[in-house]
């Protein structure tokens, strides 16, 4: 069934004239002539940016999310395209209020008026998977209510099936398939996307992030669990100004430069302190408090996609970042090898030289001209030569890091992501490998140490006994291995002998047929 969806995707792309984006590719020019003849009726009067946005909206949530990611990369996109894609952040056409009411009443099994005291029929934000309405609880508390789009699960399932099929094909036919791990990457993306279809999971993410930032450095709405279901999420209404409205923020006295640097540090705090980060940080999901006790603080919204990192991932990421900051390309190469991101037999000197060739020119440019996104792209291109294995668990982090850089440059063109993050990462690394780390680990493991200390002599004795027996059994294991190899060799010869006998019998049978029926 999803093959029909693939045909529909191609049809929509051609209908909106998206082939204009590939007109520079000479081998495709004859195909474009055919497309223009077949789709002679299409309207190509609108600018290409508008046509791209309309096509993504037509194709649904997966493609809208793709447009959202692209919209943050103004340093890589033409201004006309970036301006139009920015409208995908929270300007996706809403679905009808009748559908909203139907979903809420089905979720709570009671009339809308018995769930909320007042409910605004007009959506304040409409995104690819759900839309948000302001409301009041029965006690008058201001809330924001998020409601899933009708039948959105079926549409997403189809698009994910297409992506999985394409990933399988890429991995099967491409020499790069094993290294890039497209199937694992799509599975990772599918898992995060499917989580967005259960708003109780989003509510749990929201609560966890709020606990991580209980100091209110990053403002997170409170969740009203009694008013949450799989299709409906009710949370505290937040009052703020979208971070993309920079001139409005300036007019309200917000320090934009400080805001940019705070955003970088908040991101790295989520990644390295907590290992739990907001992985959908496009401008439509970020506001700034412009009144009240927390003026100038970020407000985070939409917690459907969150990323997680293991302690090992965090260590090697921080080590790579700090090595880049210090221009220690040897350590960057060693970290890649030790982490398993490149094969163990990689030539360290060659890898170091390649990394230096990419990164060294960055440090000779003004800060405002340094693009982490372009550097990351160059590193990926270099990685093909050395067989760098793409880490699916880091894909969300890479995407979010590009979003953060794009947002930071909109706020302050002179910001340098590297220099803003360096002090934080130095502190974090000192806590991981210094005396603080030892004290922290000892405190965490102390109950286990006290519990197992009386048993330690017996455990050591058992370990030494097992090692002695292992050494005594070594000749026996060697004999068994030789016997197994001999049996395998004998089995191979038996198989060959059987084939030879069958071939001989077949030739004899053929000879009898020739003599009996005088075929020749």
Encode 484-518: b = buried (16+ Cβ within 10 Å), e = exposed.
eeeeeeeeeeeeeeeeeeeeeeeeeeeeeeeeeee
Give me the tens of pLDDT residue by residue for the chain, a chain 520 residues long.
566 777 787 778 777 877 666 554 445 555 566 566 555 556 667 888 888 888 888 887 777 777 776 665 555 567 788 778 877 765 668 889 999 999 999 999 999 999 999 999 999 988 778 999 999 999 999 999 999 998 888 888 888 887 787 778 767 766 656 656 677 767 777 777 777 889 999 999 999 999 999 998 899 999 999 999 999 999 999 999 999 899 999 999 999 988 988 888 898 889 888 889 998 887 778 999 998 899 999 999 999 888 888 888 888 777 877 787 788 889 888 888 887 777 888 888 888 888 888 778 766 554 456 665 566 556 656 666 677 666 656 667 776 777 777 777 778 877 766 677 777 777 777 766 555 555 666 666 667 666 666 766 766 666 666 655 555 555 555 555 665 665 566 555 555 555 554 554 454 444 444 444 444 4
Residues 262 and 383 in one domain: yes
Asked whether residue 306 is domain-assigned, the answer is yes
Task: Please identify, among 68, 88, 108, the residue that sits at the C-terminal boundary of a domain.
Answer: 88
Show the domain range for 260. Answer: 251-436
277 and 426 fall within a common domain: yes
Are residues 234 and 120 part of one domain? yes
CB contact at 8 A, 149 and 141: no
For the chain, give the number of residues. 520
Let me know whether 132 and 52 are in one domain.
no
DSSP helix/strand/coil, 320: helix
Tokens at 69, concatenated: 């990611």
Task: Judge if 163 and 113 occupy the same domain.
Answer: yes
**What span, in angstroms and rounded, lies between the C-alpha atoms of 98 and 96?**
5
DSSP letters for 108-143: HTS-GGGT-SEE-SS-SEE-SSEEEEEEE-TT--EE
Residue 444 lies in a domain: no
Residue 16 CB neighbours (<10 A) = 24
Q: Does 144 lie in the same domain as 238? A: yes
In a domain, 495, yes or no: no
Q: Is residue 477 part of a domain?
A: no
Indicate if 149 and 279 belong to the same structural domain: no
- Residue 204 inside a domain? The answer is yes
Residues 81 and 107 in one domain: no
Domain annotation covers residue 460: no
Distance set, CA 408 to CA 103, 243, 287, 441 (Å): 38, 10, 14, 35
For residue 108, is it within any domain? yes
The alpha helices in 47-93, defined as continuous H runs, are 48-59, 61-71, 79-85
Last residue of one domain, picked from the residues 229, 250, 271:
250
Which 3-state string (H, E, C) describes 248-262?
HHHHCCCCHHHHHHH
Tell me how far apart the alpha carbons of residues 436 and 222 are, in angstroms, rounded to a whole number.
33
For 265-291, b/e burial (b = at least 16 CB within 10 A) is ebbbbbbbebebbbbbbbbbbbbbbbe
Q: Which of 436, 457, 478 is the last residue of a domain?
A: 436
- Catalytic annotation present for 262: no
Q: Are residues 232 and 257 in the same domain?
A: no
Q: Are residues 161 and 38 in the same domain?
A: no
Give me the DSSP letters along 277-295. Answer: EES---GGGEEE--SSTTT
DSSP symbol at 223: B
Count of structural domains, the chain: 3
Same domain, 53 and 165: no
Same domain? For 192 and 313 the reply is no
Write down the residue that tokens 């923020």 correspond to.
249
| Candidate list 159, 262, 280, 302, residue with the active-site label | 280
Structure tokens at 212: 């991580």
Specify if 410 maps to a domain. Answer: yes
């Amino acid at each position: 069934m999803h093959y029909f969806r693939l045909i529909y995707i191609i049809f929509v792309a051609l209908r909106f004239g998206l082939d204009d984006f590939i007109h520079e590719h000479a081998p495709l020019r004859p195909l474009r002539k055919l497309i223009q003849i077949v789709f002679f009726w299409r309207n190509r009067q609108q600018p290409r940016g508008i046509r791209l946005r309309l096509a993504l909206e037509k194709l649904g949530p997966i493609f809208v999310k793709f447009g959202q990611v692209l919209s943050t990369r103004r340093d890589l996109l033409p201004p006309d395209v970036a301006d139009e894609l920015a409208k995908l952040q929270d300007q996706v056409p809403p679905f009808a209020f009748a559908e909203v009411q139907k979903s809420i009443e089905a979720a709570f099994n009671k009339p809308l008026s018995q769930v909320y005291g007042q409910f605004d029929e007009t959506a304040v934000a409409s995104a690819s998977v759900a839309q948000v309405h302001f409301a009041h609880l029965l006690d008058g508390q201001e809330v924001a209510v998020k409601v899933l789009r009708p039948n959105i699960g079926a549409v997403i399932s189809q698009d994910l099936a297409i992506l999985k099929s394409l990933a399988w094909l890429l991995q099967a036919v491409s020499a790069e398939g094993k290294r890039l791990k497209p199937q694992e990457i799509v599975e990772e993306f599918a898992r995060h996307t499917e989580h967005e279809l259960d708003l109780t999971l989003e509510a749990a993410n929201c609560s966890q992030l709020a606990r991580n930032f209980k100091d209110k450095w990053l403002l997170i709405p409170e969740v009203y669990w009694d008013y949450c279901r799989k299709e409906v999420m009710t949370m505290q209404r937040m009052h703020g100004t979208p971070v993309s409205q920079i001139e409005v923020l300036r007019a309200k006295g917000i320090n934009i430069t400080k805001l940019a640097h705070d955003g970088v540090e908040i991101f790295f705090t989520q990644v390295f302190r907590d290992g739990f980060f907001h992985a959908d940080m496009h401008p439509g999901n970020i506001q700034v408090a412009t009144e009240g006790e927390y003026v100038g603080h970020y407000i985070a919204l939409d917690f459907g996609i969150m990323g997680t990192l293991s302690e090992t991932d965090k260590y090697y990421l921080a080590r790579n970042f700090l090595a880049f900051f210090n221009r220690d390309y040897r350590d960057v190469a060693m970290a890649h090898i030790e982490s398993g991101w490149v094969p163990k037999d990689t030539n360290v000197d060659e890898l170091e030289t390649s990394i230096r060739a990419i990164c060294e020119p960055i440090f000779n440019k003004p800060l405002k001209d340094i693009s982490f996104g372009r550097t990351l792209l160059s590193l990926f291109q270099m990685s093909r030569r050395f067989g760098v294995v793409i880490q699916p668990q880091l894909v969300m982090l890479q995407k979010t890091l590009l979003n953060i850089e794009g947002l930071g440059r909109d706020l302050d063109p002179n910001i340098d992501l590297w220099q803003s993050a360096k002090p934080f990462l130095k502190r974090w690394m000192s806590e991981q490998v210094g005396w603080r780390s030892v004290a922290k680990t000892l405190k965490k493991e102390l109950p286990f140490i006290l519990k197992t200390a009386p048993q330690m002599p017996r455990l050591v004795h058992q370990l030494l006994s097992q090692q002695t027996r292992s050494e005594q059994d070594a000749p026996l294991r060697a004999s068994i291995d030789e016997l197994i190899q001999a049996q395998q060799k004998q089995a191979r010869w038996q198989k060959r002998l059987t084939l030879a006998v069958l071939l001989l019998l077949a030739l004899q049978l053929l000879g009898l047929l020739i003599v009996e029926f005088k075929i020749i």
